[in-house]
């Protein structure tokens, strides 16, 4: 059976911040400000509603069912490809390390070898973004993407018939400012892990085109830790997820609180 291909795109409109794992000296003032004022307490209803909206569906897709859980079912190895800009490569490596720290059940790391990588982060110049989209998705689909989304950065993944993600491609423009570059890197790399549906009805998630985060915020940590809890399986339906969430949520809350050094939520 040919792999089912599902793609997701996001347009970055504003700015955001880095997670604390990256040294404070590397942060600009806007990033630090966003991180300081983020909301950290959420009800079960708020978490559940957000998870169901971003884990099912797709902002933009070309083929395959979108009513099942999609996720990696093994280690994620990321290869960084593109211009030899050490600053951007280092930022992607730090974003990867931050994601690994904040989703302890996910084995994710950078690899120096393309062969065997199941996520590729493509660093391109802004003027070459359209060319990169055409390269990966073909001229016709690239026109659809540009017409529908006009993205500054984008990502897509291929999944198998079991809804396990097999490979993802992320495209980031290196000559965007730090604010936009980091916002793109976090959103697209996290979307490539499975939550590819954007929503404008949840005000706390970076998967809202009206929200720019740039760091791995508490709310999205809760959502991604639910997704990568071993009890949440690729291919699960919404009803199956709803049935297991009361068991998963307390453990996820505890883990996210511990990782971030915040008071455990009730």
Residue range 135-180, pLDDT digits in tens: 776 666 656 656 555 567 888 889 999 999 999 999 998 887 888 8
Instruction: Assess if residue 192 is contained within a domain.
Output: yes
Instruction: Assess if residue 16 is contained within a domain.
Output: yes
Instruction: Assess if residue 77 is contained within a domain.
Output: yes
Q: Which of 176, 172, 190, 239 is nearest to 54 (CA)?
A: 190
We report the CATH number of the domain holding residue 124 as 3.40.390.10
Helices 86-102, 238-260: crossing angle, 10 deg rounding? 110
Instruction: Assess if residue 164 is contained within a domain.
Output: yes
pTM here is 0.83
Ramachandran angles phi, psi of 220, nearest 5°: -70, -30
Q: Residue 252 sits in which domain range?
A: 4-260
- If one counts the domains in the chain, the total is 1
Instruction: Assess if residue 56 is contained within a domain.
Output: yes
Q: How large is the greatest C-alpha to C-alpha distance in the chain, in angstroms?
A: 50
Instruction: Assess if residue 181 is contained within a domain.
Output: yes
Instruction: Assess if residue 266 is contained within a domain.
Output: no
Instruction: Assess if residue 265 is contained within a domain.
Output: no
CA angle 80, 70, 254 (to 5 degrees): 90
Residue range 11-53, pLDDT digits in tens: 332 222 233 344 434 566 777 888 888 999 999 999 999 999 9
Residue range 90-136, pLDDT digits in tens: 999 999 999 999 999 999 999 999 998 999 999 998 777 777 777 77
Residues 6+ apart with CB under 8 A from 10: 59, 149, 151, 153, 154, 155, 184, 187, 188, 191, 198, 207, 209
């Amino acid at each position: 059976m040919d792999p089912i291909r599902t793609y997701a795109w996001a347009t970055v409109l504003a700015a955001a911040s880095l997670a604390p794992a990256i040294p404070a000296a590397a942060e600009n003032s806007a990033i630090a400000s966003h991180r300081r004022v983020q909301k950290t307490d959420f009800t079960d209803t708020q978490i559940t509603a957000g998870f169901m909206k971003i884990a099912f569906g797709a902002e933009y897709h070309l083929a395959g069912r979108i009513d099942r859980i999609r996720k990696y079912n093994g280690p994620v190895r990321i290869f960084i490809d593109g211009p030899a800009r050490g600053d951007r490569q280092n930022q992607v490596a730090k974003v990867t390390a931050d994601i690994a720290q904040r989703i302890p059940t996910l084995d994710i790391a950078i690899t120096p070898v393309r062969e065997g990588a199941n996520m590729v982060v493509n660093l391109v110049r802004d003027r070459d973004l359209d060319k990169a989209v055409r390269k990966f998705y073909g001229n016709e689909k690239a026109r659809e993407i540009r017409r529908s989304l006009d993205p500054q950065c984008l990502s897509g993944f291929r999944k198998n018939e079991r809804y396990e993600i097999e490979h993802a491609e992320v495209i980031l423009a290196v000559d965007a400012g730090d604010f936009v570059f980091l916002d793109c890197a976090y959103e697209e790399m996290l979307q490539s892990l499975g939550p590819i549906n954007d929503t404008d009805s949840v005000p706390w998630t970076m998967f809202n085109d009206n929200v720019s985060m740039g760091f791995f915020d508490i709310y999205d940590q809760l959502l991604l830790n639910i997704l990568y809890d071993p009890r949440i399986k690729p291919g699960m339906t919404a009803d199956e997820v709803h049935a297991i969430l009361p068991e998963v949520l307390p453990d996820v809350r505890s883990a996210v609180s511990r990782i971030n050094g915040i008071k455990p939520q009730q």
